[in-house]
Amino acid sequence: MSTPVPASDRPGGRPEVPTPPGGAPLRVNPARRAAAMTAPAHLPIVDETSAGGLVLRAGSERPEDFSAAVLLRRNRTGRLEWCLPKGHLEGRETPQEAAIREIREETGIRGSIQAELGVIDYWFTGEDRRVHKVVHHYLLRAEGGHLTVENDPDGEAEDALWVRVDELAERLSYPNEQRLAAAALDLLESSRNLRDALRADAFPTERPDLP
């Protein structure tokens, strides 16, 4: 799997996306998990695994003209957030199977995995538990469907939009997803084979790009 490249090291001088204090790395860090196991002691530790990613449709042959399906959701405070589609593994699903299903349910787009993109690892505390969350992200080729949130079983998203890959880092709300978007653009720029694979079986856009 390719290691995501920090934005500050990417060609073209695109600005570095800051990670806030305590922000989650793109890889699971055993030291962070060991530290979280010790506090708070009275709450049980629960491991959760989710999967999702970027499902891309082709524009021109230029890497920056590929677009990804992105969700708009309200957080608990009512603020609108831009985020990538993802969700929990169900039954005996693999992360790859869950990513394909979740993206189809949440965006209406059927995709096939073309590359591994990265893993986000973080912790959060609920009322009765301390949760260690690991989210696997993949790069998918859009193969069909209609962009919609009407079939999202959780009903959490307000809308789904196509966003150009070179604009994702500016639009996504979470720093680690911004870094994943930067890694996706790097992969597109560095691999002609990947661009060709993503363009195969391209289907007509059913909703316009953002202006």
- pLDDT digit string (tens) for 113-169? 999 999 989 888 877 889 899 999 999 999 999 999 998 887 788 999 999 999 999
Q: Which residues contact 14 (CB under 8 A, 6 or more apart)?
A: 7, 169, 182
Peptide bond into 40 cis (omega under 30): yes
Report pLDDT for 51: 98
Residue 60 has pLDDT above 60, yes or no: yes
Average pLDDT over residues 75-100: 94
Q: What percent of the chain has pLDDT over 70?
A: 75
Please give the pLDDT value at position 135: 95
Dist. CA 55–CA 48, nearest whole Å: 23
| Span 50-62, average pLDDT | 89
pTM (2 decimals)?
A: 0.74
Please, which pLDDT band fits residue 177 given cuts at 50, 70 and 90? very high
- The answer for residues whose C-beta is within 8 angstroms of residue 59's C-beta and 6 or more apart is 65, 66, 67, 164
pLDDT of 7 over the 80 cut: no
- Please determine, for residue 201, whether its predicted confidence score (pLDDT) is greater than 70: no
What's the length of the chain? 211
